[in-house]
Amino acid sequence: MSLEEIHSLGKKPLEHNGTLSSSTSKENKTSKKAYIESYGCQMNFADSEVVASILTKEGYTITEQLDQASLVLVNTCSIREKAEQTVRKRLEYFNSKKKEHSEMTVGVLGCMAERLKHKFLEEEKIVDLVVGPDAYKDIPNLLQEVANEKEAVNVLLSKEETYGDIAPVRLNSNGVSAFVSITRGCDNMCTFCVVPFTRGRERSRDPKSILEEVADLAAKGYKEITLLGQNVDSYLWYGGGLKKDFDKASPLQQKTALRFDKLLSLVAGAHPKIRIRFSTSNPQDMSLEVLQVMAKHENICKYIHLPVQSGSNAVLEKMNRQHTREEYFELIDSIREIIPNCGISHDMIAGFPGETEADHQDTLDLMDYVKYDFGFMFAYSERPGTLAARKIEDDVPESVKKRRLNEIIQKQQAHSLYRTQEFLGKTVCVLIEKTSKRSNTHWSGRTTQNTVIVFPKEKYTVGDFVDVKINDCTSATLLGEAVQLSNQI
């Protein structure tokens, strides 16, 4: 499918719902203000921007000041128990603020809303409305239900909703980097994961709306776009429907289907001066074609987040990960061959039920083989509703989980330092994103490999691509000095 064919698709254009400051009347600007707080993955933060767009169209102004808000929404994560505990404390705090401001409405959005549903209203009574990830367009109706003192819950999962017809309002934006969602939901059914139950079946967004959103961001001066999905590599557009129904599509639909490598190439080719990132990849879904597209386009960042979760075949099978240790090694070898300078990060779970010391050693050996740039590491946390919670006994003691996790973290720190030291003496292209947290005289940005770099501000500004010579490093950060504005991406 060509770029011209995509633009000729008869899809509804994006609904441009305004900006943070837009509202339907002067009265609304002062009386209808919404405060949105987001937790969890990048998808949640992107969803909050969709919610902000819907609210803006309803006359709300988005505020960063809680005390100004008549509506408080928390977009939640259920991936780990700790994440839910954090959200619960925030909801309790907002509920206490509501007692001081009786006109305030408090709502919970996202995965935790989907998982707990009516419990928030009936048992805990700490929120006024509950909205699942596929029901954000119903928020105006639910707010009316709250006003009428009726139960306001919509957690219906959809087989079609992608929010492709809504232009997100960028929240807390630096004007440089933005997320663009391309898929929703997940079909993988890993035994430890709640995402298929909280976000529903996997479906892909139509490519025309994706290209329109990216073009809109380019026109506004954004310099980096991240294509988002639970499984971006399994993106598949054939005119509608779920990925699982592709075999039922017509021969013509199958022949002209657009897969992720083609979408990635179209986005990168249309905007050669914008950096393109994507997340998250699954080992069983990533194709050689995607790697070849990454190698071909200079503006596609040379970085892949490639969760593995365990280095043991026995554990991977219990997790229903749909790939083996050996297949993962083969993919890593292909990445190193096709994109020699590619940064790679991971997700890793320590202490999955049944994990032995030998299994744990397999994980450490795998880490030694790959030498990841960085990673996200957790002790196993049983999530209600998952197959692991229902069928597999959580039999690894907490002390063992913590010890194994600590060993994984220590190894990753050593590997991270190894990777950052490879940059010493080199000059790299950096996109300036913000002022460094530790010094207001330094900029912070990232390399194409997603490595953070800090350097003196001098004459440069946010949004500049700058060539920076690396003089020093820690395991997490590169330290350098700017050489000149870069003509690279």
- HSE (CB half, 13 Å, CA atoms) of 194? 22
SS3 assignment, position 331: helix
Long-range (24+ apart) CB contacts under 8 A made by 313-317 are 313/362, 314/354, 314/356, 314/359, 315/352, 315/354, 315/355, 315/359, 315/362
Nearest Cα to Cα of residue 201 among 214, 189, 215, 186? 186
SS3 assignment, position 172: coil
Pairwise CA distance, residues 42 & 177, whole Å: 12
- Distances in Å between the alpha carbon of 415 and those of 15, 51, 351, 394, 475? 45, 39, 21, 30, 8
State the pLDDT at residue 76. Answer: 92
Pairwise CA distance, residues 52 & 34, whole Å: 8
State the pLDDT at residue 25. Answer: 36
pLDDT by residue for the chain (489 residues), tens digit each?
A: 544 444 444 333 344 333 333 333 333 444 799 999 999 999 999 999 999 999 999 999 999 999 999 999 999 998 888 888 999 999 989 988 888 877 899 999 999 999 988 888 776 688 999 999 999 999 999 999 999 999 999 999 998 999 999 999 999 889 999 999 999 999 999 999 999 999 999 999 999 999 999 999 999 999 999 999 999 999 999 977 677 788 888 888 888 899 999 999 999 999 999 999 999 999 999 999 999 999 999 999 999 999 999 999 999 999 999 999 999 999 999 999 999 999 999 999 999 999 999 999 999 999 999 999 999 999 999 999 899 999 999 999 999 999 999 999 999 999 999 999 999 999 999 999 999 999 999 999 999 999 999 999 999 999 999 999 999 999 999 999 999 999 887
State the pLDDT at residue 78. Answer: 87
The enclosing H or E element of 453 equals: strand 452-456
Pairwise CA distance, residues 116 & 132, whole Å: 10
State the pLDDT at residue 101. Answer: 78
Q: Which fold has domain 427-485?
A: OB fold (Dihydrolipoamide Acetyltransferase, E2P) (2.40.50)
Nearest Cα to Cα of residue 371 among 405, 402, 318, 414? 414
- Distances in Å between the alpha carbon of 74 and those of 88, 109, 194? 10, 6, 19
Beta strands 224-228 and 203-204, pairing class: unpaired
State the pLDDT at residue 123. Answer: 66
**Domain residue extents for the chain:** 3-154, 427-485
| 207 and 263 Cβ atoms separated by less than 8 Å | yes
Q: Which fold has domain 3-154?
A: Rossmann fold (3.40.50)
State the pLDDT at residue 226. Answer: 98
Contacts of 193 (CB under 8 A, 6+ apart): 79, 186, 383, 386
Q: Angle at CA 252, nearest 5°, toward 251 and 254? A: 65
State the pLDDT at residue 22. Answer: 32
State the pLDDT at residue 5. Answer: 44
Q: What is the pTM of this model?
A: 0.90
Edge-to-edge order in the sheet of strand 224-228: 177-181, 224-228, 275-279
Nearest Cα to Cα of residue 254 among 10, 6, 1? 1
